[in-house]
Amino acid sequence: MNRLSRSLIILLLALLLAGGLRSVIFAQDVDPSAGDSPQASDFFFLPYVAGGQDLPTTLPPLGPKEPKDATAFTKALNERLKIELPFDNTQAFTDVQRGLIAPLPTQVISTTDGSGVAWDPEKFSFITLDALAPDTVNPSLWRESQLANVAGLFKVTDRLYQVRNADLSNMTIIEGDTGLIIVDPLVSVETAEAALALYRANRPMQNVVAVIYTHSHVDHWGGVLGVTSQQEVDNGVEIYAPVGFLAAATAENIYAGGAMGRRANYMYGTLIPGGPRQGVGTGLGTTISEGSNSLLAPTQTISVTGETRVIDGMTFEFLLAPNSEAPSEMLWYMPELKALNGAEDATHTMHNVYSLRGAKVRDALAWSKYLNEALDLWGDDVEVLFNMHHWPVWGNTEVVNHLEIQRDLYRFINDQTLNLANQGYTPVEIAEMIRLPRSQEQTWSSRGYYGSLSHNVKAVYDLYLGWFDGNPANLHPLPPAESSAKYVELMGGADAVLTAAKAAYARGEYRWVAELVNHLVFADPTNQEALYLQADTLEQLGYQAEAGPWRNFYLTGAEELRNGVNTDKGSYSKGSIQVLSAISLDQLFDFLAIHLSARRAEGQNIILNWVVADKSETAWTQLENSVVNHTL
């Protein structure tokens, strides 16, 4: 019988998260209080290495190679957009500054332990509201970045305030009768604490009486310990969340956190500096903070649409929106303020139906129906829409129009993808065929700054039909390195591939060059000429990209091809132990099982009974057939 405290289990799992244990197993009765310790020969569990289990060390450090200018082809494409899109519509530039009370301080926010920078407000200071788009940035994305970079404390309406651009998301502060209701306390403890300090420096100092999480993504709860504490929750501070929140939040960030964390570095541009030839933001905000994550479990769960709660004198009418932008999500209306919270379902962009960092595919049809339901419930009365990213929309006509456009956007993507899929077209083909109607193309909030029409179409296909496109030739392809070597040989060798690729590059065929040279890079990762050409190619694709995450992926890839893999930012979460403490014992054992080395566990059959003494919890686990099952 293993008698362990929950905190010890969490510590061991956190060491897995940090890569601090090369292996962990509870394959024998170990009693820490008796001085027992597992032996190396007993280890069957692989570590969770946030920076990658096997980083591609074959990429040599090539020495610094600076980004290049936009080519004539890229300049022409970006110039054409200035003519095609309604840049004379500048209403958003007025709205984004409305209600400004105080700008965000420009000082760097350091991590709690002083080891680094949690948030640098000046990273994108070159993006001002009056700055012209450089040749190296898609002008539509530049416009969105100008708006997203506006930072400070804003009054939305009476008793409703937001701190914007202190992190990827907004922190909303509602003034209740006796204290503050905090909505979505950002990504990091440090930024949430700074956001609350900015509010308190400009408004009457009030205690926090409640916290609301709109949904299960980390940028909406990770900074909760910056605005309240477990002790305050124990003493009466309530935390509200939609049904399924805790399971969704922890499953996404713990189970797949290693892969997701590495991809998040690409998506949010944390591995590249800000600059006209580097990062300009994500389209949803500027970037993601890099402080300490935290999580406090909800004390109140919103379970059904139509549920009404009075929180510190304010009425909240809730609408559940599961599997829209997040697996667990909710919107609400505050009749006293005539204010609708759209969570992350009605922002000023085409959002992700699939996130490039990796996440479960969202349901675009359900998403559109939730927005339609919001219109049915509150469309006649609402006067202001505030979201967890971007700036609000004021006026009943304007709010209704915005919600209708967003509703129809996601419905269009869903319906037209399935229309073409049912005609036999593949995901790649459909992505090339679908174009938004002009009414949507000419609406700024429908542009693909965070999501993109191309990858959202593929996501809808995947939701209904999965990864297989129906072509038997794609059923069992060779691994990339093996197939690439054969392609290069077939094309006459590396020199022939480079000659063809350079000619295509000179013609501005960057998508084709990227596909062609990708074979050469996989076949021979030490071919510096191929790495440099691929970097130049991805760079131009990044300069052309309207979606912030596409640009960040392209430019981070170019940086790595030129200068080698950056392993300095391998950790996805600096607050792993605290976040782990909020998850269930069931999830803890699931997490442990994910890191089993099936090869090393081959032939083992081990049964353990557990007593988690400090929580009065018990569990049974069995290692057999190279899996670990458990029963609580």
Asked whether residue 354 is domain-assigned, the answer is yes
pLDDT tens track for 576-614: 677 877 778 898 899 889 989 999 999 999 999 998 887
Distance CA 330, CA 319 (A): 6
Distance CA 461, CA 393 (A): 32
Amino acid 23: pLDDT: 32
- Number of domains, the chain: 3
pLDDT at residue 41 greater than cutoff 90: no
Q: Do 427 and 497 belong to one domain?
A: no
Q: Do 538 and 627 belong to one domain?
A: no
Asked whether residue 400 is domain-assigned, the answer is yes
Q: Do 191 and 327 belong to one domain?
A: yes
Distance CA 375, CA 444 (A): 21
pLDDT at residue 34 greater than cutoff 60: no
pLDDT at residue 17 greater than cutoff 80: no
- Mean pLDDT confidence for 361-372: 99
Residues 601/602/608/612 CA torsion (nearest 10 deg):
30
Amino acid 615: pLDDT: 75
Asked whether residue 311 is domain-assigned, the answer is yes
Amino acid 5: pLDDT: 59
- Mean pLDDT confidence for 21-48: 39
- Mean pLDDT confidence for 456-481: 98
Q: Which of 243, 260, 389, 345 is nearest to 302 (CA)?
A: 243
Amino acid 1: pLDDT: 53
Amino acid 64: pLDDT: 55
Amino acid 335: pLDDT: 99
pLDDT at residue 12 greater than cutoff 80: no
pLDDT tens track for 142-163: 999 999 999 999 999 999 999 9
Please give the helix or strand (H or E) that residue 112 lies within, else none.
none
Amino acid 426: pLDDT: 98
Q: Do 191 and 318 belong to one domain?
A: yes
pLDDT over 70, % of the chain: 88
- Mean pLDDT confidence for 463-474: 97
Amino acid 65: pLDDT: 81
Q: Tell me which of 438, 465, 492 is where a domain ends.
A: 465
pLDDT tens track for 494-541: 999 999 999 999 999 999 999 999 999 999 999 999 999 999 999 999
Amino acid 11: pLDDT: 55
Q: Do 94 and 230 belong to one domain?
A: yes
- Mean pLDDT confidence for 458-479: 98
**Number of neighbours of residue 544 by Cβ within 10 angstroms:** 24
- Mean pLDDT confidence for 66-91: 97
Q: Do 321 and 247 belong to one domain?
A: yes
Q: Tell me which of 465, 496, 519 is where a domain ends.
A: 465
Q: Do 363 and 505 belong to one domain?
A: no
Q: Do 76 and 90 belong to one domain?
A: no
Asked whether residue 580 is domain-assigned, the answer is no
CATH number at residue 445: 3.60.15.30
Q: With H, G, I as helix, E, B as strand and everything else as coil, classify residue 522.
A: helix
Q: Do 166 and 263 belong to one domain?
A: yes
**Number of neighbours of residue 484 by Cβ within 10 angstroms:** 19
Amino acid 455: pLDDT: 98
- Given a contact cutoff of 8 angstroms between Cβ atoms, the answer to whether 581 and 246 are in contact is no
Asked whether residue 472 is domain-assigned, the answer is no
Selected residue with higher pLDDT from 43 and 197: 197
pLDDT tens track for 530-573: 999 999 999 999 999 999 999 999 999 999 999 988 876 644 44
- Mean pLDDT confidence for 38-50: 44
Task: Name the band, by pLDDT with cuts 50, 70 and 90, for residue 113.
Answer: confident
- Mean pLDDT confidence for 482-501: 98
Asked whether residue 585 is domain-assigned, the answer is no
Distance CA 279, CA 67 (A): 12
Q: Do 271 and 378 belong to one domain?
A: yes
pLDDT at residue 15 greater than cutoff 80: no
pLDDT tens track for 262-309: 899 999 999 999 999 999 999 999 999 999 999 999 999 999 999 999
Amino acid 462: pLDDT: 98
Question: What phi, psi does 333 have (nearest 5°)?
Answer: -120, 140
| The token pair that represents 228 in the structure block | 């309240």
Q: Do 62 and 40 belong to one domain?
A: no
Amino acid 36: pLDDT: 41
Q: Which of 220, 249, 146, 182 is nearest to 389 (CA)?
A: 220
Q: Which of 449, 448, 534, 111 is nearest to 457 (CA)?
A: 448
Amino acid 228: pLDDT: 98
Expressed as residue numbers, the domain containing 492 is 51-84+477-566
Of 98-112, 255-269, 465-479, 486-500, minimum mean pLDDT range: 255-269
Q: With H, G, I as helix, E, B as strand and everything else as coil, classify residue 611.
A: strand
Q: Which of 164, 185, 190, 187 is nearest to 110 (CA)?
A: 190
Distance CA 300, CA 297 (A): 9
First to last CA, the chain: 15
Asked whether residue 572 is domain-assigned, the answer is no
pLDDT tens track for 418-433: 999 999 999 999 999 9
pLDDT at residue 42 greater than cutoff 80: no
Q: DSSP assignment, residue 279?
A: B
Q: Do 526 and 608 belong to one domain?
A: no
Amino acid 242: pLDDT: 99
Amino acid 4: pLDDT: 59
Q: Which of 83, 132, 78, 85 is nearest to 544 (CA)?
A: 78
Asked whether residue 322 is domain-assigned, the answer is yes
- Please enumerate in sequence order all residues whose Cβ is within 8 A of that of 503, keeping only pairs 6 or more positions apart, or say none: none
Amino acid 3: pLDDT: 59
Amino acid 261: pLDDT: 86
Distance CA 200, CA 187 (A): 20
Please give the helix or strand (H or E) that residue 72 lies within, else none.
helix 72-84
